[in-house]
Amino acid sequence: MRIRCSQSQLISGINTVLKAVPSKSSMTILECILFNADENGIKLTANDMELGIETYIEGEVEVAGSVAIEAKIISNLIRSYGDEQFMIDSDEDNNVHIECGKSKLDISGRSAEEFVLLPELDKSNPINISQFSLKDIIRQTIFSISDNDTNKIMTGELFEIKGDKFKVVSLDGHRISLRIITLKESYDDNSVIVPGKTLSELYKIIPGDVDKDVSIYLCENHVIFEYDSVKVVSRIIEGNYFKIDQMISNDYETKIDVSKKELLEVISRATLLVKEGDKKPIVFNVNDNTATLSIKSTIGSMNDDIDIEKSGKDIMIGFNPKFLIDALRVIDDENVTLYMVNPKAPCIIKNDDDSYLYLILPVNFT
């Protein structure tokens, strides 16, 4: 194999596929990036057996071929140069020769035959969604997946298609995040559970263009995301997702409308009085057109009044402030509506058209 390409192209490709390179693996070949050059161009691939990413970069193919190079080594080497042209050459023994400007260096590669290629999957009926919309949905839900492997289902997000509606759900046992958007066309009903790790890494590399789409393929055991020159292949989490509709009620005794910015500022300020690791609730005391938010800790205490519009009963209820902050930060509306039943029942934050919903369990504050 012999290729020529710029540092900027190499770094762009390496940064994209690095998300699928494990930091350590019993299969050391998985710590490599596969470079493949043929008539289609220069392709870089990484695969940790759960998540695989491949991308094409611009450059010149002088000799077709392929070689696997340790990801950490090639990444650090390429970054150590300026934006110049590189020549990367490999021989039959997988010795890799690199030239850049006046610099020449040799490193050991691995046989491409050792590398575990991405699975060949039957791609049909792609679901098309704008890069911006997909990235936004991930941003608005990813924070409430569980990082505890005790219940594998909670470490992923439900992707559900019903006609032209695309619903994404995450939950961790203390809260639920839900987003629904309308697609440009209708599709057959389908659903998969996508690992949170996959979505987190996808979020980092997807550009988020409004005018460009991502094609999503829901396969039997995998999900594929394709955009521009990038393909992301991930195993799905097997099992049945929780029956979310049974957890969410439209009943409420208290409804408040409040400025999102003001509410977020008050809660964020209150957390400055809480040491990291301390679980101190923020208490809402809702009366008439005022909500008093208070918190007490070993550092001090705070009471802050904010103006609200209230319908229904007065209520005093406590929450984990972090859960409220996480939800409020990803809501783009200027005002938010909170629905509550009693101090022991979940609080729901949602908009009028139900395109987003955040359910947060209360905590004991006595």
Q: What is the pLDDT of residue 122?
A: 86
Q: How far apart are CA 291 and CA 146, in angstroms?
A: 31
CATH topology agreement for domains 2-114 and 250-360: yes
Average the pLDDT over 56-61 and give the result: 98
Which residue, chain included where needed, has tokens 């997988």? Answer: 94
Which residue, chain included where needed, has tokens 């809501």? Answer: 331
CATH of 127-246, one of 2.60.40.1180, 3.40.50.1100, 3.40.605.10, 3.10.150.10: 3.10.150.10
Q: How far apart are CA 270 and CA 277, in angstroms?
A: 15
Residue 161 · residue 181 · CB < 8 Å: no
Half-sphere exposure of 236 (CA within 13 A, CB side): 21
pLDDT tens digits, one per residue of 125-135: 899 999 999 99
Name the residue among 73, 93, 81, 71 with its Cα closest to residue 14: 71
Q: How far apart are CA 57 and CA 63, in angstroms?
A: 16
pLDDT tens digits, one per residue of 147-187: 887 899 999 999 999 999 999 999 999 999 999 999 999 99
pTM of the predicted model as reported, rounded to 2 decimal places = 0.93
Domain spanning 2-114, CATH class? alpha beta
pLDDT tens digits, one per residue of 214-246: 999 999 899 999 999 999 999 999 999 999 999
The CATH code that applies to domain 250-360 is: 3.10.150.10
Instruction: Tally Cβ neighbours within 10 Å of residue 190.
Output: 12
Q: What is the pLDDT of residue 12?
A: 97
Please give the share of the chain, as a percent, with pLDDT higher than 70: 100
Q: Which amino acid is at 1?
A: M
Average the pLDDT over 275-285 and give the result: 90
What are the extents of the domains in the chain? Answer: 2-114, 127-246, 250-360
CB within 8 A of 240, min separation 6: which ones?
153
Residue 366, pLDDT > 80, answer: no
pLDDT tens digits, one per residue of 262-271: 999 999 999 9
